[in-house]
Structure 1
Amino acid sequence: MRKFGLIGKKLGHSFSKKYFTEKFLREGVTDAAYELYELSSAAELPQLLSQEPELVGLNVTVPYKEQVIPLLDELDEAAAKIGAVNTIKISGGRTKGYNTDYIGFRDSLEAFYPEQERGQALVLGTGGAAKAVWAALDALQIPYKRVSRQAGEEQLSYAQLTPELLQKYNLIINTTPLGMYPQVQEAPELPYESITSRHYFYDLVYNPEQTLFLQHAAGKGAKVLNGLPMLYLQAEAAWNIWNL
């Protein structure tokens, strides 16, 4: 039996096991199982691999997408460039890291954000998921500004996001876990009153289906999308890598 799974700190929000279990049933894959592995730190990865010798593939979620890199034997070129890993292939006792978040985000954004509407983007958060988003925006030639708690070079703080500034950016992407189940009453600090029907809001969070961030935006007539299309696309890309 081939084993696959997801590693992260808290996985109660994740749909990955459900997605892969249903995929295996639907496609008649009888030699595979997918499990959730909550690790208290990324440093527990080698121990997990020794305890579960049948593991041949892992997905990686917050907060370990950057922390696992030094623990891997090899990095795919794209993952090395992005600086974050969300997929690990285990073969012959060796581990290789990939980034399929990039593929999932890029392809889902292209379908959601029409070329004729494209302007500038604000990317909320600067973690491992944000790195994949930055790379996808670069590939699609969509200019963007990073947003974090602290302002810096090429980076805005949340305090700088005025109603006037929000009019310059019609794509707002949340890469933070704010609003994720079970903390569903949280949302990034934005002047939501200044959102218009010109705006596109993309939240990488998919549980709940519509976060407070997306509810605020939809209430102002903005187009909204959660992270489920990205999850499915990155999962399929990971499956392809594991089966190469």
Structure 2
Amino acid sequence: MGPLEAAAILLAGVGAGTINAVVGSGTLLTFPTLLAFGYPAVTANVSNTIGLVPGSVAGAWGYRRELVGQRDRVLRLGIGSLLGGAAGGVLLLVLPAGAFEAIVPALIALGVLLVLFGPRISRWVAARHGDGGGEHWWVWPAVFATGVYGGYFGAAQGVLLMAVLGIGVADTLQRLNGTKNVLAAIVNAVAGVIFAFVADVDWLVVALIAVGSVIGGLIGASVGRRLRPAVLRGVIVTVGVVALVVLLAR
């Protein structure tokens, strides 16, 4: 690995950590970056997932004030994320590599669409907050399903989680964003543990993304919340579209 490649992966990790803490679509930066440097799709995915774990933890730590009083909710929904992330990680390893490479363009397209329509989802979420208190029964199964998706691939996992939590749980969006960061960290961590033992991992890539994502996670939890969302979405969508074009042209 040359210095230019290492620097690009490190910077992608910083961007992913920042975006994951604020919005949740950082994989759409790191994964295409690894593909551009010639890493096989499955190796890029598992290395990226492990590398983003420290950044997810850093983002959750940055939102610790918003997490006060949410212990029971985080523990309950965290079990769903744990089980879902494990199931998604196992699916990635059990299914043929060709199956993952075939479905990756569709997953990236889904991630881009979720980011693109993020403002509409947010408005819908905000409008539903006047529907009363409590937590709808379907939130736990939906968090589990999101965990499966996150363990398998993970792009825009945070957008999905915010939609689920915002529509199904009566609380402020900032507090729910803190919950989202913890749940995403759990999914990445459990899938990462599975990958670390049985998958083809590039540990230098993991280290670069990990360092970058920790820096980005701390930035995202503090300064990042003041960045213009349209700028972040524009970057993510652009990178995702480029990745789609590259993958479909191969």
The structure with higher relative contact order (CA 8 Å, sep 6+) is 2
Larger proportion of helix? 2
Q: Identify whether the pair has TM-score above 0.5, normalized to the shorter chain.
A: no
| TM-score (norm: length of structure 1) | 0.28
| TM-score (norm: length of structure 2) | 0.28
Name which one, 1 or 2, has greater alpha-carbon Rg: 1
